[in-house]
């Protein structure tokens, strides 16, 4: 596409309820929406950073600065670019993978829209709908957690993931297991533990979990490999898998038997597909993670999750799991426990301009 401009907006979107993890509680979603302005029309992307660098080192104002100061200008300098060239152009700039991913997605959406081609078909989707799991935040107490999980099961979610942290692990998991029996259940620690907690983590083995997600720090690949050797429950990495190379290293070390793929975390949907391909060849099951995406990223994640290696249900939930009001005209909905893979050109969404405007708190336009 002939890239003419990049418009970036910081949005603050109200959440239906606060979302608590081991690293903190979010009361509203702060996110960056990218519009790629091209000679052939617009494309949309989303930078999935959060307000503070608590999940990873990236955060909204950092991504905003990197995108406006370095990444955006590098893309605009090129003029005509293909989506497949974006990662290479941005490669000299270290890190800032979420910012890169959001920019790449906007260019990709613009390019595919201009060709009338859906993102799913482009990425290699093999199904028209994907099973939908839900990530449930830490609640007031285990009883409240059981109440929250009951509502999601009633809504039809086919897999439950609960967030855990030291002191809120065994009893929470036990309460959900006791209340709902053998439902597909997994836990996510968001790197809240160390190897010193191995006894607690081994206790989780008795709950027959699908997996334990990211118990240790992002850069603790070797410790994860040690831990994997002590656990019966499959160990899944999220934060640690920042790139295809990290996935290769995790595989070589035996640090993960399952991988959560998030396009934002790894620098884009194309890198995400490369990780999918590696894992598929290596028989490592993958699933599609989420970052509380708006309808833009949510629709794109549904397309990614339709690739054949995504054999576990992802955190690809309906818009109303997080948002009373989404910024797309057709919010993502749950149908029989599944989310439909969009079939329209590009990501397959249309932006609701009024909603976008209402949530915008900052706006910058870069032009060629
Ligand atoms: O670790 O998967 C995570 C949300 C924000 C940051 C990290 C994570 C999450 C989630 C929610 O678990 C996933 C979603 O439904 O978007
Ligand atoms: Mg996670």
pLDDT tens for 7-31 read: 999 999 999 999 999 999 999 999 9
pLDDT at 180: 98
Catalytic, 163? Answer: yes
Strand partners, 168: 165
Dig out the tokens for 132 from the structure: 């939908």
Distance 240 CA to ligand 2 centre (A): 10
pLDDT of amino acid 149: 98
Contacts of 167 (CB under 8 A, 6+ apart): none
| 3-class secondary-structure state, position 272 | helix
Predicted-assembly ipTM surpassing the 0.95 threshold: yes
How distant, in Å, are the alpha carbons of 32, 61, 168, 331 from that of 99? 9, 11, 32, 24
- Compute the distance from residue 64 Cα to the ligand 2 centre, in Å: 23
| Model confidence pLDDT, tens digit, residues 115-157 | 999 999 999 999 999 999 999 999 999 999 999 999 999 999 9
Active site residue 161: no
Q: How far apart are the first and last CA of the chain?
A: 13
- Measured by CA distance, the residue closest to atom 6 of ligand 1 is 291
Positions of E strands within the chain: 3-21, 24-38, 41-47, 129-131, 133-136, 159-163, 185-188, 212-213, 235-237, 258-261, 286-288, 338-340, 360-367
| Burial profile 238-251: b = 16 or more Cβ within 10 angstroms, e = fewer | bbbbbebebbebbb
Residue list, ligand 1 pocket, CB within 6 Å: 55, 135, 188, 190, 238, 289-292, 315, 317
Ligand 1 probe mutation, 26, 290, 294, most atoms within 8 A of CB: 290
Predicted local distance difference test score (pLDDT) of residue 50: 97
167 three-class SS: coil
Pairing relationship of beta strands 338-340 and 129-131 according to DSSP bridges? antiparallel
Alpha-carbon span 326 to 87, nearest angstrom: 28
Please name the residues in contact with 272: beta carbons below 8 A apart, sequence gap of 6 or more. 261, 262, 263, 266, 304
Q: Which ligand is nearest to the CA of 56?
A: 1
Ligand 1, atom 13: nearest CA belongs to which residue? Answer: 290
Q: Return the pLDDT at 216.
A: 98
According to the model, what pLDDT value does residue 99 have?
A: 99
Fold of 3-116+352-367: Enolase-like; domain 1 (3.30.390)
Question: Which residues of the chain are modeled with pLDDT < 70?
Answer: none
Q: Which of 21, 30, 314 to mutate to test the pocket of ligand 1 (most atoms within 8 A of CB)?
A: 21
Q: Does 2.40.160.60 match the CATH number of domain 121-340?
A: no
Q: Write down the domain spans for the chain.
A: 3-116+352-367, 121-340
Q: What pTM value is reported for the model?
A: 0.98
């Amino acid at each position: 596409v002939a890239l003419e401009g990049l418009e970036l907006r910081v949005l603050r979107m109200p959440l239906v309820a606060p979302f608590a993890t081991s690293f903190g509680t979010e009361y509203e979603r702060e996110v960056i929406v990218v519009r790629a302005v091209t000679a052939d029309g617009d494309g949309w992307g989303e930078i999935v950073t959060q307000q503070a660098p608590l999940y990873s080192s990236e955060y909204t104002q950092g991504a905003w600065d990197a995108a406006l100061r370095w990444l955006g200008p590098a893309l605009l300098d090129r003029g005509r670019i293909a989506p497949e060239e974006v990662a290479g152009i941005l490669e000299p700039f270290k890190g800032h993978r979420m910012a890169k991913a959001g920019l790449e997605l906007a260019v990709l959406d613009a390019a595919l829209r201009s060709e009338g081609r859906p993102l799913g078909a482009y990425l290699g989707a093999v199904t028209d709908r994907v099973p939908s799991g839900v990530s449930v935040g830490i609640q007031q107490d285990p009883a409240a957690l059981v109440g929250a999980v009951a509502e999601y099961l009633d809504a039809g979610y086919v897999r439950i993931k609960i967030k855990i942290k030291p002191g809120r692990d065994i009893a929470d998991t036990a309460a959900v297991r006791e209340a709902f029996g053998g439902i597909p259940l997994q836990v996510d620690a968001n790197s809240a533990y160390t190897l010193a907690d191995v006894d607690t983590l081994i206790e989780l083995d008795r709950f027959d979990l699908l997996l334990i997600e990211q118990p240790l720090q992002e850069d603790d690949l070797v410790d994860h490999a040690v831990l994997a050797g002590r656990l019966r429950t499959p160990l899944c990495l999220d934060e640690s898998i920042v790139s295809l190379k990290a996935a290769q290293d995790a595989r070589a070390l035996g640090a993960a038997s399952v991988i959560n793929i998030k396009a934002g975390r790894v620098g884009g949907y194309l890198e995400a597909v490369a990780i999918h391909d590696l894992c598929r060849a290596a028989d490592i099951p993958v699933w599609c993670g989420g970052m509380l995406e708006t309808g833009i990223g949510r629709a794109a994640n549904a397309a990614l999750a339709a690739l054949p290696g995504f054999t576990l249900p992802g955190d690809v939930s309906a818009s109303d799991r997080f948002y009373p009001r989404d910024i797309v005209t057709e919010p993502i909905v749950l149908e029989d426990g599944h989310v439909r893979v969009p079939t329209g050109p590009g990501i397959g969404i249309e932006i609701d301009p009024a909603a976008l405007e209402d949530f915008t708190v900052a706006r910058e336009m870069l032009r060629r």
